[in-house]
Structure 1
Amino acid sequence: MHDAPRRLKSATVSFMTQIHPTAVVDPAARLHESVVVGPYSIIGAQVEIGAGTRIGPHCVIEGHTTIGRDNRIWQFCSLGSDPQDKKYAGEPTRLEIGDGNTLREFCTVSTGTVQDEGVTRIGDDNWIMAYVHVAHDCRIGSHTIMANVTTLAGHVRVGDWAILGGLTGVHQFSRVGAHAMAGFASRIAQDVPPFVMVAGNPCEAHGFNQEGLKRRGFGPERILAIKQMYRALYRKGLTLEAARAEIEALRAEHPEAEADITMMLDFLASAGRGIVR
C-alpha cells in the first residue's frame, strides 16, 4: 500500500485506467483515450466522446450521441435516451453536445424526432445545473446558464448567453432569444425577445439585461440602442408592427448596433407563438 502513491505519480495513465472497472462501455463506442468514465456508468454502442471529457458515476449515455471536448458530466445524468414523444417509432435520431459544457447531477437530454430535424443540439460552454431536462429537438446555443430544475419542452430554442432561472418551464416550440434572462420559476409560453428580462406566471417583461450586456463588453452606444428597442416593444403602447418599424428606423441612428437590431428584427419576424409582452 505504501508503494501505490509512487507508482501512480510516475506511471503514464493508460486508456483502460480511465474507465472504472465497474463501468460498462460498449466495444463499438468511440471514446478518446483521455476520456474518464466513472463507476457504474453505461456507454452505448453509438456514442462518440471527445478528448478531455469526464463522465461521472452512474451516468447513462446511449443512442446516436456525440459529445465534444472537455465536457464535465456529473453523476446520474441520462443523455441520448429516446424522446418522450408518443410518435417516436425508433428512428435513428441524434443528440449532439459541443465542447466545454457542464451538466450537473440528474440532467436528462433526449435525442430528436423525425417530426423536426431529428437532432437535439447543445452548443459550447453551457452551464446546466442539476435536474435540468432538455427535451427532443431542442437547440441550445453557447454560453447559456440554466439553473436547477429548468425544463425545456420539445422543439424549444435558446439563444447564446441566455439565462434561465431555477424551476423555469418553457413551453414546446417557444424561443428564448440571445442575452435574454428569465427569473426564478418563470412560465414561458411565448417567445422571449433577445436582451429582454422576464419573470412570473404568466410571464411578463421586466426590463432588459443591461448588467449582463455590460459584462459581455457591450459599449454604451449599443446598450442605448437596445434600451430604445425595449422601449418600442414595451413602453410606448405600440402594436408589434409599429414597434418593428421604429426598431428598423434605429439603424440610421445607431450604426454600431446594426447586428443587434438585425437580430431583434429577425427574431420578431419569426415569432410564431407571439412574444411575451
Structure 2
Amino acid sequence: MDANALAFYRRHGPVTEPGAYAEAFDDLPDAVPGLVRVVQGLLVHVFWAERYGLHLSPEREAEVGLRRVEAQLERIRALDPRPLAEARPLETRLVGNCRDYATLLCAMLRAHGIPARARCGFGAYFWPERYEDHWVSEYWSAAQERWVLVDAQLDAFQQETLRTSFNPLDVPRDQFIVAGQAWLACREDRCDPQAYGIHDMHGMWFIRGNVVRDFLSLNKIELLPWDDWGPMASTEAEALSRNVSLIDRLARLGLAGDELFLALRATYENERRLYGVP
C-alpha cells in the first residue's frame, strides 16, 4: 500500500473539512459501524423521505445543494442543536442524497485518522438489471489491508425495502460499480450503457460524467451529483467523440489502485480541463 495515498486520504479536503464545527466530531464513535449509525441519524434521503412518511417543503429539499460538510454541519446544528451522536427525528434531519451520506461519513472517518474517500458510480441493488447512479464511501481497513466499500445510506428500512442480501458495511464489488469500471466495460461492449443512469438519464454521456466525478473525488474534490463542467458530455455523440482518450485515462486511473496514486495526482494537477471551484 502506498503510504502517500494513505496519508492523503487521512486528511480532509476542501469539501469534507468541518471548519468551525470540527469539535462536533470529537465525541463520535471511532469505529465504522458506530459512525454509520450517526450519519443515518443525521440525514434523510430526499428521494426516500415520502417512504418514511415525511413530506418535505421546497425549502427543506433545497438542503441537498449544500456542498461542503461545514455548511451541512451548520444546518444540522440549526435544525437540532444536540450532539451529533444523538439520532434526530426524521423532521429535523438534514435532507441529502447518497453523495451526502458518502461525504459526511468520509469527513468523520478522516477526523478519526482513518483514510477514506467517496466513490461515484452505480448501485446494482436498486432496480433489477439496472445500475443506478450512486455514491458510497470507501475506507482503508488496516486490519484487512484493503479498501472497503460502505453504503451509509442503507439503513434497516432501506435494506428491507430493497431486499438486499449483503452487508452495507462491506459492499461487494459487483454490487457497487465504480464509474471507471462501467465506462470501460461499455466501451468494450461488455455492458449495455443504457442500463446505467438514473430516472430518464442514462447512457455513455451519463457514465462519462460519473467517471469525472469519481476521479475528482479521488482527488478530494467531491462534486455535487449534478455538477457539470470540463470534460463531461451532454449527448451520446459527444461522449464518444470529444476527449475520449482523457476519459479512458481517468477511468483506468480510478481502477488502478494506489500503485498509480502519484499518476492520479499528477493528472489532476496538470489537466486543466478538470478544474472547477467546489
Decide: shared fold, TM above 0.5.
no
Select the structure with the greater relative contact order (CA < 8 A; seq sep ≥ 6). 2
Higher strand fraction (1 or 2): 1
Higher helix fraction (1 or 2): 2
Q: TM-score, normalization: structure 2?
A: 0.26
Q: TM-score, normalization: structure 1?
A: 0.26
